[in-house]
Structure 1
C-alpha cells in the first residue's frame, strides 16, 4: 500500500475510535475520499484484523448496510499516575474503560524512585487474569519529571508495544471532550487542580502543545506581588493559593490556630492533614474551610479569566483532586471570570466541574495510546499496511 494508503488507513482507525461504528459511505464522506479509495484501505485493515464488521446501520429506505468497527481484540492500556494513586485501565477501541485497578501509593510505601516499579506492577496485576492483547500503552502524569522514566520502563517491559506519555491535564482535556462535561466541544479549556495548577486548551478540536510541550503551567503565574512562597522560588504564585499542597498547608494553620474544630480534631487524630480532610471539612460546611476554598476560587478565577480572553473557549472544565471542593470553589471561579473576562466571551461560556473525575485522564491517556499504536502502523512498510 502506498504512503497515502497508509495515512488513509490511520485516518479510518481514528475515525472509528472517535465516532464509533461507521458504514463505508459514512467513512468516505467524513474523510473526503471516494468509496473506491476507501474500500482498498479498508480491505487491508480487515485482513490484518484491525477492523471488523459492526452492527447493521439504520435503514434509509433501502437495504441496511453493515458498519465497520475497530477489532474487538484490539485494546490499549492507560495509566494515570496521580498525586497518591496509580490507576490502570484497559481501554477498548471506542475509548470505553473495560477493566481497571487503582493502587494507593501510600499503602505500597512507594518512594519517588520506585514509582516506575509500582506502575509496572499495577499493569501486571491488571493483565494477569484477563490477558488482553494490548497494542499500545500511555501514561498520564501530573508533573513532567517522571515522563521518560516511566515510559522507558514500560517500553523495556513490553517490547513491541507502542508506549507514550503525556501531562495529566492534556489527557483530561481529551477525556472530557470525548465523553465528559465538554463532550464534542471543539473549543475548551481544561484546568486540573492537583499538587499544581495546570491547564490544557483545545482549539478547533486540536490540543495546543506550545513550542516545547510545556504549555499550561499556569500555577507559577504570580497573582499577588507579596504572597506565600512557592516551590518555584518566587512568591504569590497561583500554586501557593490553589494547589492541593497549599490548601493543606493553609488548613493546617487554621487547625493550629483553633479556627476549625473539625480540622483540629483530624490533625490531633493522625498528626497530619491531607486534602481529603480539607474536602470533608468543606463539604461539612466548616466556615473557615469554605472561605479557604472561596479564596482559592477567586485567585484561580483571575488566571482563568485571562485564559478565557486569550483562547475564547466555549467551556471551562475544572478537574483534579482539589476540584472535589465542589461548589465552594466553583462559585467563586465563575463569579471572578464573569466579572473580569470580556463580556462578549462570557455570555455563553460554561464553567463546570468535571463529571468524570480521574476517569477523564484515563480515557485521554487511552486516546494517546491508540494514537501511538496507529502512528506505528502508518510507519510500517507498504506491504504490511
Structure 2
C-alpha cells in the first residue's frame, strides 16, 4: 500500500516491465542486428546477420526474417512495436538519404508494413535513437539537458532539452559531423571540405591510416591486416594498442578535433552531460584522453566544471536499446 494522507487508502501500483515486449532493429552498412526487450529495455534475446544485399528490398526481407524469428512464439498483441535505427536522414517513415546504404527517398515504413502488417513500426535516425536509449537506460537517465555524440562511420550530436528530444524544424537536427573545422581540410562525402566527420569519424580514421600505410610497407598495421580493405577504425585501434605510433597519432588527432567540436556544443547549449557513443568510442582512452584535453583547453573557465563528459554505458547494445526506447517514446 502507498502512504496514506487521509481519505481513501492509496494503492501502490507496480509497473510490470514484462507486460509487453518491444523489438529493436539496428541497420548499419554491413550488418543488421535485432533484439527482443521488455519495457525496462532489458534484452531477452538478440541476433545479428551480415547485410549481403543493401537494396531496400534486401534490407526489408532481412528485417522481416529477423522479426519473425525473434517473435515466433509470441502473439502480435504482446509486441508493443518495432523500433528501427538507421544511418541517414529519416522523415515520416521515409529514408530521405542513407549514404551507407546508397538509399534516397525509400518509403521504408510503407514497405515494411506489407511484410509486418500487425505490429506498429517506428523508424528514426540512428543518432536520435541513440540519445533516446541514453535517456531511458543510459547515462542520461533522469537528466533534463544532455547531448549524445555518436562517433561511428559518421558523426552526429543529438539533444535532450527539458527532457525532450530536439528534432529541429524538419527533423534533421544533429548533423554535427558536418560542422566545418578545417575549411581547407580533407574532402567529406557530403561535398564540403574539413567537416568534423572527415577528420574524426571511423571512416576518417581508416582513410588516414590507408593513406600512410600504402606509402609505408613497414607500418605496423600490415602485421594486423593483409590488404587495405581490412583497414578499419577497429584495426587501427588494434595497431595503436600494440604501440604503433602512427595509429596512436591518428587517434590523438581524431580526439583533438572531437574536443574542438564538443567545446562548440558546450558553449552553445550549456548541457549538464555529454555522452560519447558509437563504435569509435569503444577505443576508450585512445580517443577520450585527447578529446578531454582538447575540450578542456577550449572551454570558458566558468564552463569547465559544469559539464560531465562520459562514454556510453550501453556498449555494443546502445542502438538496439535506443530502438526499443523509440517505441516507448511513441507508445507510452
Shift of 1:226: 0.8
Q: What is the CA-CA distance between 1:178 and the residue it aligns to?
A: 2.4
1:118 has 2:62 as partner: yes
CA contact (8 A) 2:64 2:116 kept: no
CA displacement at 1:179 relative to structure 2 = 2.3
Match of 2:207 in 1: 249
Whole-Å separation in 1 of the counterparts to 2:318 and 2:227? 34
| Paired residues of 1:175 and 1:360 also in contact (CA < 8 A) | yes
Gaps of 5+ in 2: 96-105
Which whole-Å deviations, capped at 9, do the CAs of 1:152-186 have from their partners, x for residues lacking one? 23322222322111111112112123222333222
Superposition CA RMSD, Å: 2.7
Moved over 6 A (4+): 23-26
Partner of 2:24: 78
Q: Partners in 2 of 1:266 and 1:303 — Cα distance? A: 31
Classify the secondary structure of the residue corresponding to 2:188.
Answer: coil
Task: Indicate which of 80, 85, 88 corresponds to 1:143.
Answer: 88
Name the counterpart of 2:195: 237
Point out the structure with max Rg over C-alpha. Answer: 1
| Number of corresponding residues | 316
- For residues 130 and 258 of structure 1, do their structure 2 counterparts lie closer, same or farther at Cα, with a shift above 3 Å needed? farther
User: How many angstroms does 1:131 deviate by?
Assistant: 5.6
Q: 1:370 to 1:252 in 2, by over 3 A?
A: same
Mapped to 2, the partners of 1:25 and 1:204 lie a distance apart of 30
Aligned to 1:383: none
Unaligned runs of 5+ in 1: 1-22, 30-34, 37-62, 375-385
Contact 1:302–1:336 under 8 Å retained in 2? yes
Q: Is the 8 A contact 1:173 1:360 kept in 2?
A: no
Mapped partners of 1:66, 1:263: distance in 2 = 60
Would the aligned equivalents of 1:90 and 1:97 in 2 still touch at CA under 8 Å? yes
- Does 1:97 find its partner at 2:56? no
Tell me by how many angstroms 1:88 deviates: 0.9
Query: Is structure 2 residue 107 aligned with structure 1 residue 162?
Result: no
Counterparts of residues 365-380 of structure 1 (less than 5 Å): 365-374=323-332
SS at match of 2:172: coil
Q: Would the aligned equivalents of 1:199 and 1:216 in 2 still touch at CA under 8 Å?
A: yes
Instruction: Select the structure that is richer in helix.
Output: 1
Paired with 1:259 and 1:270, the residues of 2 have a C-alpha distance of: 11
Contact 2:24–2:35, Cα closer than 8 Å, also in 1: yes
